[in-house]
Amino acid sequence: MFASVNSAHGRAKLRLLLGCVCAGLLAVAQFPTSATAGPAIGQFELKDLEAEPGSVEFQSQNAHSWGQPRRKVQNEGGGEFLYDDNSIARQRHALELEWSLATFLRLRVGIEYEKERLDDPEQLSFANAFADLQLDEVAVEVVTILKRVPESGGIGFGTLTEFEHPLSGGELNTINFGPIVQAKQGPWGAIGNLIFIHHFGNGERGLGPPERDRKWDLGYATQLSYTLNENWMFALEGYGTFDRLGNSGTPGDERAAFGDHDQHRAGPLVYYAFSLGEGAGFANGASVGLDDDESSAGDDKDEVEVSIGVGMLFGLNENTPDQTLKWSVEVEF
């Protein structure tokens, strides 16, 4: 497959193919019907400051979790039960296309599948049951790069803005925004994302009660990395969400009974990068957002660059699954 993209014609065919795949997934998927007011848990992915005008990247971000926390249940009498609204998913898969429009601007669109815990099970025996894997949402993301990371080492800054639209009328839209900070010194690198998350509107116009919980959450994503050579990079990553800032939104009975559900996890990952052309990998700044005078500026862009990452994240509190396998595939052309 990669051999066919080492030309402008081949790259155009690959872009068309990826677009058709995403359109097909949207057309054949069935929409979920569950709703939740729990913490906003996104894909476990770092937002960096890389942007090379004209480049297009296909990304597959995936997570599988085990050791999910047992659901808390309160007997309301008369055969009615109140269930905690913690956000728990057994599987999550995101397919995304990303375009670098300028050295300071990057755009991404994507779809996300989830295998979520049933939000309001009909029977107590299904309190910890999961729905089928289904298409959950579509999203659009913009990254603005205010200061790129110098090739010689230093700190860069940027901002993230993302709109997520659920494909179920019972859920709310979310807007995510916040700063991106990235640093590099020799083989060491660090990335920090701080994300303010606001829930608003209904996933489908006209549906849902007016008291829907339009709260604010606070999320974060961090990475400390060591680049061994142009092919291998090792990292320690952490992801988390603080459920509900202050008393924002309209808390339901679930919060009064069970409280908020902050989630935190961290663990080691390894990334392997390779290319069909010359000058690819981590060592030339492919993933650290270097300045315009970077040594890779003159590289042949007919090449295809591939990065594969895999690692295990461990839950740091009782609201978080014990283990989460994270793996990703990124193809840039």
Q: Report the alpha-carbon distance of residue 55 to residue 38 in Å, rounded.
A: 36
Joined together, the tokens standing for residue 105 give: 């601007």
The string of DSSP codes covering 247-266 is T-S---HHHHHH----EEEE
Q: pLDDT of 3-17, one tens digit each?
A: 333 445 445 544 544
Q: pLDDT of 40-51, one tens digit each?
A: 998 899 999 999
Joined together, the tokens standing for residue 331 give: 């193809």
| pLDDT (0 to 100) of residue 12 | 52
Domain count, the chain: 1
pTM for this prediction: 0.82
Q: Find the range with the poorest average confidence among 77-91, 270-284, 303-317.
A: 270-284
Find the mean pLDDT for residues 183-207. 85
Joined together, the tokens standing for residue 303 give: 């090449």
Q: pLDDT of 251-261, one tens digit each?
A: 888 888 999 99
Q: Tell the residue number behind the tokens 């200061």, with chain if given.
A: 147
* Domain CATH for 12: 2.40.160.40
| pLDDT (0 to 100) of residue 281 | 61
Q: Which domain holds residue 65?
A: 2-332
| pLDDT (0 to 100) of residue 98 | 97
Q: Which segments of the chain are extended strands (E)? A: 56-66, 73-77, 80-83, 89-102, 105-116, 134-147, 154-166, 173-185, 188-200, 216-227, 232-242, 263-275, 305-315, 323-332
Beta bridge partners, 98, equal: 57, 108
| pLDDT (0 to 100) of residue 211 | 58
Q: In Å, what is the CA distance from 329 to each residue of 37, 100, 104, 204?
A: 30, 18, 24, 32
**Mean pLDDT taken over the chain:** 84
Q: Report the alpha-carbon distance of residue 217 to residue 255 in Å, rounded.
A: 14
